[in-house]
Chains A and B, each alone.
Chain A
Amino acid sequence: MSPRSTHLREQRQRMASAVRQAHISRRGVLSGAAGVAMLGLLSACGTKGMGGAKPSPAADRSAEEAAVRWSNWTLYLDLDDAGRKHPTLDAFQDTSGLRATYTEDIDSNDTWYGKVQGQLSRGQDIGADIITPSDWMCERLIRQGYVQKLEHANMPNVMANMLPKLKDVRWDQGRYRSVTWQTGFTGLVWNKKAFPQGLRNVEDLWDPRLKGRVTVLDEMRDTMPMMLLDQGIDIAGDWTQTDYENSIDVLDRNIRNGQIRQVKGNSYKEDLISGDVVAAMAYSGDITQLNFENGDQWEFVLPERKGLIWSDNMMVPVGSPHKANAEKLMDYYYDPEIAAEVAAYVNYVCPVLGADEAMKDIDEELVNDPLIFPTDEYLAQSTSERQLTLDEETLFQNMFQEVIGS
């Protein structure tokens, strides 16, 4: 196990016990609130059709109300030793005079969307001024007109310090509606002791020696692009429905024959710990965390046929009355020193230029961690899928749910 600074390790342990206690995971599949939310949404939207005209943004009352509310994934912002305060956020409150409310209430893009879509479609305030969904969900929200346009003049740090690669994402050219929060990779993981051979490509998961000891992710947007890449398809290019069908057949076959034990959300981590699962598709940050908590047992790689790179992005929902305040907060986190502090805690790829310099003062070793500050070669090993059409979005998701039995 590589020796890291002790404060980091302590932080990890606290995070681990916090996870065990609260039993929440960043991309958890299960939400007890799901059923309740479903009822709420149904009764809220039942009388009136959804969709139609796009909602118009709420008036900005930032000048009168010194507040900003931020919805994020769990374990995605630095936490102090007592596990109660977020030092960087507290510092922001002190300097800006704004009262920040931080809520870790996004645990799956789909569940979150199911909860708030009705309100968003009517332009109502969903109780958050900043939301942090993943790329493909951001694309959907922009298309549906559910987020507000940002004022670049209010965010000089973002303009100056965002990694150039991130500035022109396909779905938000020039970043007028979104600001990257953190970036991560989807790749392969295996238990080094139980499967010393290791994995090079997704196809290696189908090794007979791994029968019944493999999981893949239950997010279609992770598993299917990985399957497509494994078929040698350029997922950023013009692949077709036939390509998708061929890839999902491979998935189907390996679910039917018991090679894949389960298709799982974030809880795949627990199966890795219990030993039920030896090899899996996984998120980069998770594995860093697992290795800290349980000894250095697992190895994470991007497949030779490439892995996925994704981001979670800060956006201002259409009904938020605090857009200017939200922009202030986004800008604050693009200060390299602040970004480095966050990166040292969350261990995901930092989207801020100059944060690697600032990191030298916090933890020298993290500067060379490719999962936080990836080299160009590492980045070249990853890609992301082209835009799906509306029909594809529904069809592909439907096919995926069919194959995974729900």
Chain B
Amino acid sequence: MSAPAKEARAVEKVDLRSPEEIRAEKKKGRMGAWLILPGMLYMALFFAAPVVVLLSMSLFVKPEGAELGEFVPGWNFGTYAEVWNRYWPVLLRSFVFALIATVAALIIAFPMAYLVAVRLRGKPLLKGILLVLLIAPFFSSFILRTQAWKQILADEGWIVQTLKAVAILPADGSLTATPFAVICGLTYNFLPFMMLPIYASLERLDTRLLEASGDLYASPAQTFMKVTLPQSMPGVFAGTLLTFIPAAGDYVNAAILGNNRDTSMIGQVIDSRFFKVIDYPGAAALSFILMVCILILVLIYIRRFGTKDLF
């Protein structure tokens, strides 16, 4: 809205309200600004500033005969081309893994959320217990839980032994140190981020709509597709974003459950550029590329599937 238009509307309003009302309105506005301030400051300090630092670091130059870790400010855009050419397959793999994990988490989380939020209505005790059971594992350490997957999928474990017995897995096959294990870990670790938003939106689902749908001769499948799913879309939407974004940048799962051939994710590469090779500009450029890629993917997703009332 242009400034004069705003003014015109404000003038219009003034004519309609009493002086007390105007004062109250103004006070409310000032209040709002003050309440936003801490959030804005926080974002400026811990998001905007680091991003600027990251950007400038990614353009630093290594001077001739420099000591390890010595870089001077510059405009070396070549770093971007270099890391992109070298690591785009890893970046692509990260997004593919994150996508598969997100879809898997959605398939697992939706029925769980539905059970707790809709089916168990009117049974608060059972519902409470189930909800706690679903969330409780996530009170323990992230690394510890990922480590547990190593034990679950270990060669001597019953899963691998059973799969071998029924010849699904070849005799010399294994599950750990495979892409499968990494995706399992990602799916599991980000499950609550998928489940909770879906649960929150299903909880508000008006079951009378389901009855009405049945009264209109819709099959259960039709009811689900036409009533339940659309009603839960805000939750699904939030859940997929909350799962996909951190999963794409994750490196713990790939480091613990992966191998060194076909499971490396971009987080691992950034980690090794920074700590092992001491290539600070390269690490910064990769981080920035990752951010931009996620931003683009998320924007496409929002444009394609996003609802207006969400954004």
Contact A49 B70 (CB under 8 A): yes
B31 sits at the interface (CB 8 A):
no
CB within 8 A of A32: which of B52, B72, B143, B151? B143
Contact B277 A23 (CB under 8 A): no
CB within 8 A of A30: which of B56, B72, B155, B255? B255
Contact A38 B274 (CB under 8 A): yes
Instruction: Say which one of A39-47, A92-100, A149-157 lies at the interface with B.
Output: A39-47
A236 sits at the interface (CB 8 A):
no
Contact B177 A262 (CB under 8 A): yes
A132-182 at interface with B (beta carbon < 8 Å): 140, 143-144
| Contact of A43 with B53 at beta-carbon distance under 8 Å, contacts A262-B259, A393-B68 already known | yes
B48-91 at interface with A (beta carbon < 8 Å): 49-50, 52-54, 56-57, 60, 65-73, 90
Instruction: Say which one of B6-14, B18-26, B125-133, B261-269 lies at the interface with A.
Output: B261-269
B171-193 at interface with A (beta carbon < 8 Å): 172, 174, 176-177
Which of B252, B271, B277 has the most A CB atoms < 10 Å from its CB? B277
Smallest beta-carbon distance B304→chain A, Å: 30
In the assembled complex, the Cα of A403 lies from the Cα of B259 at a distance in Å of 12
Contact B269 A42 (CB under 8 A): no
Instruction: Say which one of A268-276, A327-335, A347-355 lies at the interface with B.
Output: A268-276
B29-55 at interface with A (beta carbon < 8 Å): 49-50, 52-54
Contact A275 B261 (CB under 8 A): no
Give 1 or 0 for each of A106-121: 1 = CB within 8 Å of chain B CB: 0010110110010001
Q: Name B175's closest neighbour in chain A (CB-CB).
A: A276
Contact A397 B277 (CB under 8 A): yes
B280 sits at the interface (CB 8 A):
yes
Which of B53, B90, B143 has the most A CB atoms < 10 Å from its CB? B53
User: Cβ of B210: which chain A residues have Cβ within 8 Å of it?
Assistant: none
Contact B57 A270 (CB under 8 A): no
A5 sits at the interface (CB 8 A):
no
User: Cβ of A370: which chain B residues have Cβ within 8 Å of it?
Assistant: none
Contact A276 B154 (CB under 8 A): yes
Smallest beta-carbon distance A339→chain B, Å: 32
User: Cβ of A390: which chain B residues have Cβ within 8 Å of it?
Assistant: 65, 67-68
Give 1 or 0 for each of A42-76: 1 = CB within 8 Å of chain B CB: 11011101111000000000000000000000000
A34 sits at the interface (CB 8 A):
yes
CB within 8 A of B260: which of A47, A263, A275? A263
| Contact of A270 with B275 at beta-carbon distance under 8 Å, contacts A42-B57, A212-B174, A276-B174 already known | no
Contact B284 A401 (CB under 8 A): no
Contact B150 A270 (CB under 8 A): yes
Q: Name B266's closest neighbour in chain A (CB-CB).
A: A406
Contact B150 A29 (CB under 8 A): no
In the assembled complex, the Cα of A258 lies from the Cα of B284 at a distance in Å of 32
CB within 8 A of A42: which of B54, B172, B258? B54
A86 sits at the interface (CB 8 A):
no
In the assembled complex, the Cα of A346 lies from the Cα of B70 at a distance in Å of 37
Which of A140, A274, A275 has the most B CB atoms < 10 Å from its CB? A274
Contact B174 A110 (CB under 8 A): no
Contact B71 A110 (CB under 8 A): no
User: Cβ of B212: which chain A residues have Cβ within 8 Å of it?
Assistant: none
B243-301 at interface with A (beta carbon < 8 Å): 252, 255-256, 258-261, 263-264, 268-269, 271-280, 283-284
CB within 8 A of A276: which of B155, B264, B279? B155
User: Cβ of A260: which chain B residues have Cβ within 8 Å of it?
Assistant: 260
CB within 8 A of B261: which of A32, A34, A113, A405? A405
B228 sits at the interface (CB 8 A):
no
A360-402 at interface with B (beta carbon < 8 Å): 390, 393-394, 397-398, 400-401
Q: Name A115's closest neighbour in chain B (CB-CB).
A: B275
Contact B284 A42 (CB under 8 A): yes
Contact B155 A406 (CB under 8 A): no
Contact B147 A23 (CB under 8 A): yes
A211 sits at the interface (CB 8 A):
yes
| Contact of A110 with B260 at beta-carbon distance under 8 Å, contacts A52-B70, A144-B68, A275-B154 already known | no
Contact B141 A23 (CB under 8 A): yes
B216 sits at the interface (CB 8 A):
no
CB within 8 A of A258: which of B54, B147, B261? B261
Contact A401 B278 (CB under 8 A): no
Smallest beta-carbon distance B288→chain A, Å: 11
Contact A49 B68 (CB under 8 A): no
User: Cβ of B49: which chain A residues have Cβ within 8 Å of it?
Assistant: 43
User: Cβ of A113: which chain B residues have Cβ within 8 Å of it?
Assistant: 275, 278
Contact A394 B278 (CB under 8 A): yes
Smallest beta-carbon distance B68→chain A, Å: 6
Shortest beta-carbon contacts, A-B, top 4: A51-B70, A46-B53, A49-B72, A405-B264
> Given A29-B255, A398-B277, 14 other A-B contacts at CB below 8 A?
A23-B144, A23-B147, A30-B256, A39-B50, A43-B49, A43-B50, A49-B73, A144-B67, A261-B176, A261-B259, A276-B154, A398-B279, A405-B264, A406-B269
* Contact sample, A vs B, 20 pairs, CB 8 Å cutoff: A32-B142, A43-B50, A46-B57, A49-B70, A49-B72, A50-B70, A50-B71, A51-B66, A117-B69, A262-B177, A262-B260, A274-B150, A274-B154, A275-B154, A390-B67, A397-B276, A401-B273, A405-B259, A405-B268, A406-B268
A residues whose Cβ falls under 8 Å from a Cβ of B: 23, 29-30, 32, 34, 38-39, 42-43, 45-47, 49-52, 108, 110-111, 113-114, 117, 121, 140, 143-144, 211-212, 220, 255-256, 258, 260-263, 267, 270-271, 274-276, 390, 393-394, 397-398, 400-401, 403-406
B residues whose Cβ falls under 8 Å from a Cβ of A: 49-50, 52-54, 56-57, 60, 65-73, 90, 141-144, 147, 150-151, 154-156, 172, 174, 176-177, 252, 255-256, 258-261, 263-264, 268-269, 271-280, 283-284
